[in-house]
Amino acid sequence: MTEQLRLMAVHAHPDDESSKGAATMAKYVSEGVDVLVVTCTGGERGSILNPKLQGDPYIEEHIHEVRKKEMDEAREILGVRQEWLGFVDSGLPEGDPLPPLPEGCFALQDVDEAAGALVRAIRSFRPQVITTYDENGGYPHPDHIQTHKISMVAFDAAADTVKYPEAEFGAPYQPQKLYYNQGFNRARTEALHQAMLDRGLESPYADWLKRWEKMGIPERTLTTHVSCGDFYEIRDKALIAHATQIDPDGAWFRVPLEIQREAWPTEEYELAKALVDTSLPEHDLFAGIRDNA
């Protein structure tokens, strides 16, 4: 039955798929689920965040090609398929006041028009389940917020042949469930923080929790907890494949895997849309779907 199950993960940039829900995807791949990552932009305006690679003139000049190769490697590690929507990275505006977004970038595209590219991908792949970002983008990067917007439109519009005619966008199809990635939640962060302290180790999350408290960020509703601790190593390998974005000696990897598996062996999601009956909390993105697959 699992050969009929299909999961689509919609992300803004290459590397997002490896930092948000990667262990979940690897778990489902191991069970025979067909998993497709849809990447909205090429990450062309992303900064080189790995200090070991900063200042490399080849990478700076060919960042688009480099990030594409990184995505290819991460895709192989995770065992997923991957498709580019072809939009141009908007960059992360910084300063006060914030500068305008660059002309032609993803975040400035008309939402309905941009959603058409995702509608085409949905109709082609025909996923029962889609994961994406919440209305805040997970964090307020303009490309993450735009990814949320086109995902919400495309989820409903994939079955709408009036707005998105079959001749141009493919045969109509209606996904059954849509989730927001909520892996960076406070409960998880506090659990890992305390697990490190209990073992006499320095926690990388102390400053995170202070900022969380200071900013007063409201808690999201965690509806779905997918047990995937056995796939954390694959997740980390995929993340490290994005060498321009990830320092292998950085904070991402300071909590040993055995502690992570013991203290928090799940990845979390927020169920945003469901056209099938399901009971909360869930432990499977395909809850309510498997029996009808």
Average pLDDT over every residue of 191-200: 98
* pLDDT exceeds 50 at position 195: yes
Lowest mean pLDDT among 63-72, 214-223, 263-272: 214-223
* pLDDT score for 293: 59
Angle between helices 22-30 and 63-78 (to 10 degrees): 40
Residues 6+ apart with CB under 8 A from 246: 15, 49, 50, 239, 240, 252
Summarize pLDDT for 84-122 with one digit per residue, the tens.
999 999 999 988 888 999 999 999 999 999 999 999 999
pLDDT at 3 over 80: no
Q: How many C-beta neighbours within 10 Å does residue 263 have?
A: 19
Mean pLDDT of the chain: 95
Three-state secondary structure along 178-243?
A: EEEECCCCHHHHHHHHHHHHHCCCCCCCHHHHHHHHHHCCCCCCCCEEEECHHHHHHHHHHHHHCC
**pLDDT tens string 283-293:** 999 999 997 65
- Return the C-alpha torsion angle 124, 183, 285, 82, nearest 10: 20
Report d(CA 109, CA 87) in Å as an integer.
9
Q: Which fold has domain 2-184+221-255+265-292?
A: Rossmann fold (3.40.50)
Parse the chain into domains and list their residue ranges. 2-184+221-255+265-292, 186-219
Feature table: binding site:
13, 16, 144
What pLDDT does residue 139 have?
Answer: 85
For the chain, the farthest-separated pair of C-alpha atoms sits apart, in whole angstroms, at: 62
Q: For the segment 228-264, what is each residue's pLDDT rounded down to a tens digit?
A: 999 999 999 999 999 999 999 988 899 999 999 999 9
Residues making up the annotated binding site for Zn(2+) are: 13, 16, 144
The CA distance from 241 to 246, in Å, is 8
> Containing H/E element for 148?
helix 142-157
- % pLDDT > 90, the chain: 89
- 127, 83 Cβ separation under 8 angstroms: no
Residue 179 has what pLDDT?
98
Is the pLDDT at 1 greater than 50? The verdict is: no
Residues 43, 14 contacting (CB under 8 angstroms): yes
Q: How many other C-beta atoms lie within 10 A of the C-beta of residue 73?
A: 15
Give the pLDDT band (50/70/90) at residue 2: very low
